[in-house]
Amino acid sequence: MNKSLFLLAALGLASCHRAVSTKSGSLTAGTSTPVAVATPAGVKAANTSFQYLNGRGKIHFKHKDTDQSANFSLRMRRDSAIWLSGSLLGIEGVRALLTPDSVRVVNRLQKTYFAGDYAYLSQLLNVPVSYQQMQAILLGDYQAAPKGALPVVKKEGDNQVITYPQASLILEQLLSGSTGRLQQLKVSETAAQRSLTVGYTDFQKPTGADLPFAFTTNVVGQQGGTESTSATLSYQKVEVGSGHLDFPFSIPKGYARQAKVKK
């Protein structure tokens, strides 16, 4: 199983630089009220606010000659941890744990692991990414412009398109005029001729939520103007604000450390 399968799906991206406990965490009800986001005048964006998310489903992945489908599980504690597990025919192949300042990945099929920073994900996705960006991508949340950036707002039917620069990147976000939810995100780095486009569809209200969540996420990464990698995440179940979550992660003895990305 290609390790990019689940890291790409984790776009898919800091606040609390604290260690993540592997013990259970309680999810309290009533934490999914929509959040009003600071936006340019006239722009209405509604972001999630729940502290925990637990989801599972299937992912279809294409990269070069690879064309695979597998099962995935996603667990998240806002601003603290993103946990991913991918399995094929009931056998776990990849597990990843992302925190605001670290990326750790275990490939059980190849008996290798990676422990480092977000340069790893940036290479996989072909655009620079951070923990907060990964989190927003997975949740389908609008990303406000950084201080000093001047967003350009345009109407597209009943929807709105907000574009602004962020370092070497250009971010373009399409917002639903009726719900305020993000419909599409495009991150481009013109100088390097690379981009990442994330589309959100099949909006439903998960258990414990007051805000629609995209049960289908389509991701396309391009390099040099040609499609290089794509993934479709189809959630079968999503829960927020109820239950208990663990974030188990360990590196088995004897696994070889991977120093760089192998695509």
Number of domains in the chain: 1
Instruction: List pLDDT tens digits, range 130-142.
Output: 899 889 999 999 9
What does each C-alpha distance from 117 to 97, 130, 159, 243, 248 come to in angstroms?
Answer: 11, 9, 36, 30, 19
Indicate the pTM of the whole model.
Answer: 0.81
Instruction: List pLDDT tens digits, range 198-241.
Output: 999 999 998 778 889 999 999 888 877 666 778 899 999 999 97
Is residue 199, in this structure, part of any structural domain at all?
Answer: yes
Residue 27 has pLDDT above 70, yes or no: no
Is residue 91, in this structure, part of any structural domain at all?
Answer: yes
Percent above pLDDT 90 for the chain: 44
Is residue 229, in this structure, part of any structural domain at all?
Answer: yes
Task: Give backbone dihedrals phi and psi of 162, rounded to 5 degrees, phi first.
Answer: -115, 125
CATH code at position 13: 2.50.20.10
Residue 51 has pLDDT above 50, yes or no: yes
| Domain that includes residue 228, residue range | 4-17+27-257
Is residue 121, in this structure, part of any structural domain at all?
Answer: yes
Q: Minimum mean pLDDT among 76-85, 176-185, 231-240, 252-261: which range?
A: 252-261
Averaged confidence pLDDT in the chain:
81
pLDDT score at 263: 53
The 3-class SS string of 71-134 reads EEEEEEECCCEEEEEEEECCEEEEEEEEECCEEEEEECCCCEEEEECCHHHHHHHCCCCCHHHH
Cα distance from N-terminal residue to C-terminal residue, the chain: 12
Q: Exposed, middle or buried, 115 (CB in 10 Å: 0-12/13-18/19+)?
A: middle
Residue 73 has pLDDT above 60, yes or no: yes
